[in-house]
Amino acid sequence: MKLVLFDLDNTLLAGDSDFEWAQFLISKGVLDREVHEARNLEFYEQYKAGTLDIHAFLDFQLAPLSRHARYELDAWRAEFVAARIRPIIGAPARALVQRHLDDDALVAIVTATNSFVTGPIAREFGIPHLIATVPEWTGGKFTGKARGTPAFKDGKIERVEAWLESLGWWWGSFEDSWFYSDSHNDLPLMRKVANPVAVDPDDTLRKHAREMGWPVISLR
């Protein structure tokens, strides 16, 4: 049996769902453009540079969830997926996912982006498992904080291992394991699998992939 893991943003998507969600809320007037747009861009540049403080970012990114009723959030999310996400899902990404699903692999998305935003995106791909940063929910509403370990850098390994254990599996259960990613932030998990694949990689990951002899592909 194969284990196949996909990063989401700038890997399966030709864009970043976290960044796009904030920009979408700004465009709807839910977030103040002057206050939030520069901060959103700043965090995105930090992510690309590998200097992101994930906890500071999550405080910023999850706060809007705590300020609005769930029915409003659900309506905005549906509009967001239709307007901002489907246009950045390419046919090659859908075909790659489907090939692994048809191969009866255990397939999951592993992403630092929170599960409220990414749940419907996983369903759009037909991927049955999502390992994402979890927004805390209590008393019938989001708190604006994350619950547990964020699925970021080494946290992705921790979250994948816990997920596998919950299914009665472990790394050694699989004849083959794969992880597709665009980002040098994912090097810890890429080093963990038998078959790391760099997808439209950033410069740091591209250089590392070439040095290690890893495949480099494009889904654009």
Q: Report the predicted TM-score, pTM, of the whole model to 2 decimal places.
A: 0.94
- Strands 129-138 and 195-199, by their bridges, are unpaired
Angle at 95 (CA atoms; ends 158, 100), nearest 5 degrees: 45
**pLDDT digit string (tens) for the chain, length 220 residues:** 899 999 999 999 999 999 899 899 999 998 888 778 888 888 889 988 889 898 888 888 898 899 999 999 999 999 999 999 999 999 999 999 999 999 999 999 999 999 999 999 999 999 999 999 999 999 889 999 999 999 999 999 999 999 999 999 988 889 899 999 999 999 999 999 999 999 999 999 999 999 999 999 999 9
Coil vs helix vs strand at 195: strand
Residues classed as catalytic: 7, 9
Domains along the sequence of the chain with CATH: 2-217 (3.40.50.1000)
Contact 164, 172 (CB under 8 A): no
Percentage of the residues of the chain whose pLDDT score is greater than 90 = 80
Q: How far is Cα 89 from Cα 149, in angstroms, rounded to an integer? A: 28
172-191: per-residue pLDDT in tens?
889 899 999 999 999 999 99
Q: Please give the span between the terminal C-alpha atoms of the chain, in angstroms, as a whole number.
A: 28
Maximum Cα–Cα distance across the chain: 51
pLDDT of residue 54: 87
pLDDT of residue 60: 85
Contacts with 42 (C-beta within 8 Å, 6 or more apart), sequence order: none
117-159: per-residue pLDDT in tens?
999 999 999 999 999 999 999 988 999 999 999 999 999 999 9
Contact 44, 95 (CB under 8 A): no
